[in-house]
Structure 1
């Protein structure tokens, strides 16, 4: 028992607690020092000690990240199901093994004779590449978002380099600066810390220049705008449509849509699956919506499922023009595992968000065409997936919209913040303005610079009008989506070769 309460474990625990504080409260500045206690504490540790340090770090992070999940899952079930606790325990185990594995790999490849900055590059490359592997393995499970770069998303300036290398470049920089500072602290105390501090100062200067460049993009395109009415009904997800409440809920949606049309926007954006049945062109509700939209001359981006077969639906967004014609349809491509798509034919029924149906993955990456420009659509958790925005921009999207339903975790504020800030990161990566409309979440406008305006969250339905600016700028990550992955692989291969081929 005494071995648990060591100086080594204390430093590891401090780093994990700092991670939790940053993740929950958005104190992004702490991200640049949060790993220093971990690095300092594992000084001269062997392979097994580093693995155990990673296990402890990952366990603390996992507990803090997944403790709300039993409550969230039980809200799906309607009781205190043990499945929620089982899910959380498995997720915590994955977190522990992930961080333990990263530090174990570092112990295999590092050399004491390397300068501190070289070992820092090694750990940063291994850590960021491991994050990519984890995201690939658990594709469709954004709750495993352990990327260190996510600790920066609440800060406008820190995320600007994402237009070059996305989330994994941010992770690399966070781990690199922390590791460099920690190793220098071990070897020479405070006197060498000016080196990572100077690097950080240069990084801040670069962030500012990137921000000003992005600001100039919007200023040069001020005449190319589109007005959007965000129509957020804020309906509790457990409130099921039936013969008793259906007429009133239809009445509420139509009234809200009338308010949106009255603002005279170019486009009205609904939330994800705002209408809980499948689309039909002769549907009485859709026809009533288009009757009102035609009178107001507004385009409707309508969240509504589409039939695939008798057991599956597409989670779709329809673009309906004022004359009632459907100009395009986007089907969600990146589905939530266990909730919308099964794993090995297994779908947890209590997580099923499609009322007994499987969701079918869409395939098209074509933006929705409108007279006001091409609209790239991201549905729900696609805000966590860089490829969702990148593919739209590579197909000439002028601006983006993210429609979602955060109702199932509306009482967990940090998850709503994380979702909205992930959309912010997408806006910066591809340098496109984005409108976010989230049922019981945070809705608003995020500019291509990352600046947030008109954000709002409420328990009651509302409409708000925002203006997006179009531009055709292509960021580096939009041109070469795998740029950072290639860099990380090259660095890892170089270090592995130096360790095992050139001893």
Structure 2
């Protein structure tokens, strides 16, 4: 059992190395294989093996989530008012709970591994479980995200979304495990469909846009606001600097974007701030997209929402959208944790989620703007495209994560959203990584992180509708629906 545990731990570690900051993406094709070998060893020990398989998967999952999301400790300790010991306990609990998903995978994958059709069956199981993260409090890196930079696999994303890429990579892992287990070679025939991937239409690599956007990166770190030095005078100086940065270039972009960041605007509730953003729009002479705290009455209480607002060059309100997927412990703290943990954002009160997707129109084109963490929800981002968005804008505040891998992981996920929907993504962030992503998932030269700056970059609009944009997560639903039947058939046979 020690050897099996070592293999499971190796699997978790290889999954960590797959993603930023290590970014050894090819490991995605072999990182699950050690876990499958561990499951085979657990079954070979004889006697009931379900508990052993579950624990091996749980171990691999705990190592993966703990190793890839290590930055959660710093966020909880530095910005949620949690002492070091408490933050460590919360981080450990997070890793253990999220690891349960792989525990379930280990429990169920063992019997499938013995079947001649193990390759597609285990891949379907992997995808079915992977997709449940988005409905269970927190989701982040999927195996398929590693394929954003893979020329052969990435063209599958516009058809199946990230889940099809996870499926293909999982099949490679199963095939490798079967080879090492010396199973009959005919069981590898299930890999044959992957040979057709080069026949898919190539992504538009090295695509250069013809429209210009201006993205402003303020680089105001939360520590500055928490230090007590952020006075009204300092805030005034900051907004004057933002105005200067936005207007320093005399050319006129098609769109100006400020990010989500730690200095909140109150567009509907502060006349001076509304006048400020209207002044910015007039001086730049372009539609202006920015982040604002808005409010809604609920049960007699005024509750905040995190919103993206678009105004015309003359200052007229065009549209606004309120964030629908809130960050747990960031914009709200679920009970009973709210008794002893502060949320990260500084706005008083738990935020409310928005209730509808909004696609704005400017310069005769449709724009879909979503906020920060919503980037990880493939089903949510595609709704903007399904409702007509010709370009996507992601405003984000990753400054809470400091110099950790979180911002690089977030950017990798954004690249996958661009590929799935075949839309350019204009990504404005508080202090990095501000960039423009083309439809092949390639990024322009990003602004340096942790420094104020302005990125003037080219992009294009597109009204092409991918299969994924039209039909959403159909591939995940297919795996979710077929997995129970495969498990039942495995037991019967």
TM-score, normalised by the number of residues in structure 2 = 0.89
Contact 1:62–1:96 at 8 Å: present in 2 too?
A: yes
Task: State which of 97, 101, 111 in structure 2 corresponds to 1:98.
Answer: 101
Q: Deviations over 1:94-116 (max 9, x none)?
A: 13322111111223x5273x31x
Q: Assess, with a 3 A threshold, how the Cα gap between structure 1 residues 468 and 125 changes in structure 2: closer, same or farther.
A: same
Task: State which of 23, 26, 32 in structure 1 corresponds to 2:23.
Answer: 26
RMSD: 2.6
Task: State which of 280, 304, 308 in structure 1 corresponds to 2:296.
Answer: 308
SS of match in other structure, 2:26: helix
Q: CA deviation at 1:70?
A: 2.1
Aligned to 2:449: 458
Q: Which moved more, 1:22-31 or 1:315-324?
A: 22-31
SS of match in other structure, 1:363: coil
Q: Assess, with a 3 A threshold, how the Cα gap between structure 1 residues 351 and 159 changes in structure 2: closer, same or farther.
A: farther
Aligned to 2:402: 410
Contact 1:378–1:388 at 8 Å: present in 2 too?
A: no
Q: Deviations over 1:160-179 (max 9, x none)?
A: 31211212222222111111
Aligned to 1:445: 436
1:73-152, aligned counterparts within 5 Å?
Answer: 73-77=76-80, 80-107=83-110, 109-110=111-112, 112=114, 114-115=115-116, 118-138=117-137, 141-142=138-139, 145=140, 147-152=142-147
Contact 2:221–2:262 at 8 Å: present in 1 too?
A: no
Contact 2:303–2:350 at 8 Å: present in 1 too?
A: yes
Task: State which of 339, 354, 359 in structure 2 corresponds to 1:362.
Answer: 354
Contact 1:380–1:402 at 8 Å: present in 2 too?
A: yes
Task: State which of 233, 245, 251 in structure 2 corresponds to 1:256.
Answer: 245
Alignment of 1:424 onto 2:415: yes
Contact 1:181–1:196 at 8 Å: present in 2 too?
A: no
SS of match in other structure, 1:360: coil
Contact 2:333–2:342 at 8 Å: present in 1 too?
A: no
Aligned to 2:46: none
Q: CA deviation at 1:446?
A: 0.5
Question: Aligned partners of 2:469 and 2:55: how far apart in 1?
Answer: 39
Q: Assess, with a 3 A threshold, how the Cα gap between structure 1 residues 488 and 174 changes in structure 2: closer, same or farther.
A: same
Question: Aligned partners of 1:27 and 1:120: how far apart in 2?
Answer: 23
Unaligned runs of 5+ in 2: 44-48
Alignment of 1:233 onto 2:215: no
Alignment of 1:481 onto 2:472: yes
Q: CA deviation at 1:188?
A: 4.3
Q: Assess, with a 3 A threshold, how the Cα gap between structure 1 residues 292 and 93 changes in structure 2: closer, same or farther.
A: closer
Q: Assess, with a 3 A threshold, how the Cα gap between structure 1 residues 184 and 318 changes in structure 2: closer, same or farther.
A: same
Q: Assess, with a 3 A threshold, how the Cα gap between structure 1 residues 349 and 13 changes in structure 2: closer, same or farther.
A: closer
Q: CA deviation at 1:19?
A: 1.2
Question: Aligned partners of 1:100 and 1:288: how far apart in 2?
Answer: 53
Task: State which of 22, 36, 41 in structure 2 corresponds to 1:39.
Answer: 36
Q: Assess, with a 3 A threshold, how the Cα gap between structure 1 residues 308 and 157 changes in structure 2: closer, same or farther.
A: farther
Aligned to 2:384: 392
Task: State which of 466, 489, 492 in structure 1 corresponds to 2:483.
Answer: 492
Q: CA deviation at 1:298?
A: 1.2
Contact 1:162–1:169 at 8 Å: present in 2 too?
A: yes
Q: Deviations over 1:441-472 (max 9, x none)?
A: 21111111212113223322111111221111
Q: Assess, with a 3 A threshold, how the Cα gap between structure 1 residues 275 and 134 changes in structure 2: closer, same or farther.
A: closer
Q: Assess, with a 3 A threshold, how the Cα gap between structure 1 residues 290 and 63 changes in structure 2: closer, same or farther.
A: closer
Q: Assess, with a 3 A threshold, how the Cα gap between structure 1 residues 79 and 263 changes in structure 2: closer, same or farther.
A: farther
TM-score, normalised by the number of residues in structure 1 = 0.87
Q: Assess, with a 3 A threshold, how the Cα gap between structure 1 residues 349 and 95 changes in structure 2: closer, same or farther.
A: closer
Q: Deviations over 1:260-297 (max 9, x none)?
A: 5x332111000015651421377223323423432442
Q: CA deviation at 1:159?
A: 2.7
Question: Aligned partners of 2:105 and 2:280: how far apart in 1?
Answer: 56
Contact 1:229–1:263 at 8 Å: present in 2 too?
A: no
Q: Which moved more, 1:326-335 or 1:145-154?
A: 145-154
Question: Aligned partners of 1:281 and 1:312: how far apart in 2?
Answer: 13
Question: Aligned partners of 1:158 and 1:350: how far apart in 2?
Answer: 42
Q: Assess, with a 3 A threshold, how the Cα gap between structure 1 residues 60 and 352 changes in structure 2: closer, same or farther.
A: closer
SS of match in other structure, 1:314: strand
Q: CA deviation at 1:155?
A: 4.0
Question: Aligned partners of 1:49 and 1:296: how far apart in 2?
Answer: 63
Q: Give 4+ residue runs of structure 1 displaced > 6 Å after superposition.
A: 191-194
Q: Assess, with a 3 A threshold, how the Cα gap between structure 1 residues 312 and 291 changes in structure 2: closer, same or farther.
A: same
The count of residues paired between Structure 1 and Structure 2 equals: 478
Q: CA deviation at 1:10?
A: 2.7
Contact 2:357–2:384 at 8 Å: present in 1 too?
A: yes
Contact 1:410–1:441 at 8 Å: present in 2 too?
A: no
Q: Deviations over 1:173-205 (max 9, x none)?
A: 21111112211321249x7798577665543x1
Unaligned runs of 5+ in 1: none
SS of match in other structure, 2:441: coil
Question: Aligned partners of 1:357 and 1:253: how far apart in 2?
Answer: 27
Q: Which moved more, 1:276-285 or 1:225-234?
A: 276-285
Q: CA deviation at 1:490?
A: 3.2
Question: Aligned partners of 1:185 and 1:195: how far apart in 2?
Answer: 16
Aligned to 1:54: 57
Q: Assess, with a 3 A threshold, how the Cα gap between structure 1 residues 66 and 215 changes in structure 2: closer, same or farther.
A: closer
